[in-house]
Structure 1
Amino acid sequence: MEPVCGSTGNYTAKSTYESNLLALLPSLASNGSNQGFYKDTTGRVPDQVYALILCRGDTNTSACRNCLDLARQDALQLCPYNKAATIWYDNCLLRYSNSNFLNSTDNSNVIYMWNTQNVTDDLDKFNKLAGELVNRTSQYAAFNSSRRFGTGEANFTATDPNIYGLAQCTRDLSGDQCYK
């Protein structure tokens, strides 16, 4: 997926912000890959860096670490000198910013993904089932999973048999915040 480079400003080479960022990024993967989630801050305003990592709830430690190492490299290459970046991959998320986003919901960078093949049967039925599936997996992730992760599937038709869903929140959010 494409990175989301933030709009909160840029830093310069050899600046205090860059030093803080380069010190924080490696510690995220080393401290978070075992649990699949980690958040931290370093520095002082105006050079403070807020960051978190999140690995997909069904990803093992090794895959999580590999994904986070790649995300760290790509963030610096794809969003050079940007004070904020979000990198999404199939198995992980890396986000950092000079603005504090930790412990709060932020739906400004929502990504919707779908199969590019058209639904060949009843579209209304598909939309209803997909909506119910999203609600069910979101509710499970928010209130029934310590990892804030849920998956599910719904049977659609014989020609398009299954609809799959996945929901995940960062573990610094309450169940109610996650479910929003």
Structure 2
Amino acid sequence: MAVVVSSRLHSYVCCLLFIIISQASAQPSFLNHFCLSDEGSFTANSTYHTNLNTLLSNLTSNTQIDYGFYNLSYGENSDKVYAIGVCRGDVKPDECRSCINNSTVLLTQLCPNQKEAIGWYDKCMLRYSNRSIFGLMETSPLFYTLEFVNATNVDQFNQVLDNLVSNLTGIAAASGDSLRKYAAGNSTAPNLETIYGVVQCTPDLSQQDCNRCLVEAFSRITSSGKISGRVATPSCNIRYENYRFYDEPSTTADAPAPSL
């Protein structure tokens, strides 16, 4: 009898662990967030709190949006709330809505009473505020990360990366429209190190502001010589890796290798 109970317990524990691991792997990767105090705070069950909950619960309700950009406002006067949700350009609509919906839950838990907050997942970003944030180019707050490992040839790697990001920036800013400003591509250095990159702006930016945002953002991580890096701001983001991390890109760009 003892053996039977032990076997059942073992099966239950294994099943529980499988469920936990499956749920964890199904969740999008959360990167960073900021609870911004400059715009003040609200009290629970206030009009602003109700408006925020209403807005976030309806942010992705328009299933006709298949380009990964949601921008809505709700309320009046000082209780009006503005929100922007944007997904990486290669993310499918259902996955995009799921990512943003997960972010609405987590961000309001992390920032329970701030009127303005922003959070980044691996595949989406969510921000909300009591001020109009549509069409504004903002590079703060930001976060950036760099891999510890250096490229084999730092100088050549940096030159190829600079060319790649510059080409992608031009494509995203100039070829993008009010629905999507995104470009992805890769380039290979002479030592066969391939760099895969993605750049993106919120599509409510002008061409000039998108370009300016990406240039300023990239200045935070350029010339590092690291094989992986990313920088994210409220208005744009850049990521590069030594492996392909995106699905079918909407636009590709190959930067020329530096001459030896």
Superposition TM-score, scaled by structure 2 size: 0.64
Task: Write the distance in 2 (CA, Å) between the matches of 1:31 and 1:9.
Answer: 30
- Specify whether residues 131 and 116 from structure 1 end up closer, same or farther in structure 2 by C-alpha distance, changes over 3 A only: same
Of 152, 167, 170, 2:199 maps to: 167
Give the 5 Å matches for 1:111-150: 111-121=143-153, 123-146=154-177, 147-150=180-183
Task: Write the distance in 2 (CA, Å) between the matches of 1:130 and 1:69.
Answer: 33
Task: Write the distance in 1 (CA, Å) between the matches of 2:196 and 2:148.
Answer: 14
Amino acid at match of 1:161: E
Identity fraction in percent: 38
Question: Quick check: 24-33 or 44-53, which moved more?
Answer: 24-33
Task: Write the distance in 2 (CA, Å) between the matches of 1:115 and 1:153.
Answer: 18
Question: Quick check: 71-80 or 130-139, which moved more?
Answer: 130-139
Task: Write the distance in 1 (CA, Å) between the matches of 2:210 and 2:112.
Answer: 31
SS across alignment from 1:83: strand
Of 152, 156, 180, 2:185 maps to: 152
Amino acid at match of 1:29: T
> Could you report, residue by residue, the CA deviation over 1:104-125 in whole angstroms, capped at 9, with x for unpaired residues?
100113333433322222x222
User: 2:255 maps to which residue?
Assistant: none
Task: Write the distance in 1 (CA, Å) between the matches of 2:144 and 2:197.
Answer: 11
Higher strand fraction (1 or 2):
2
Shift in Å at residue 45 of structure 1? 2.4
Structure 1: gaps spanning 5 or more residues: none
User: 2:80 maps to which residue?
Assistant: 48
User: Radius of gyration: which is bigger?
Assistant: 2
User: 1:17 maps to which residue?
Assistant: 48
SS across alignment from 2:70: strand
Structure 2: gaps spanning 5 or more residues: 1-30, 213-260
Superposition TM-score, scaled by structure 1 size: 0.91
Amino acid at match of 1:78: L
Shift in Å at residue 26 of structure 1? 1.6
User: 1:3 maps to which residue?
Assistant: 33
Amino acid at match of 1:64: C
Aligned positions, number: 178
Aligned-residue CA RMSD (Å): 1.6
Amino acid at match of 1:4: F
Task: Write the distance in 1 (CA, Å) between the matches of 2:118 and 2:58.
Answer: 17
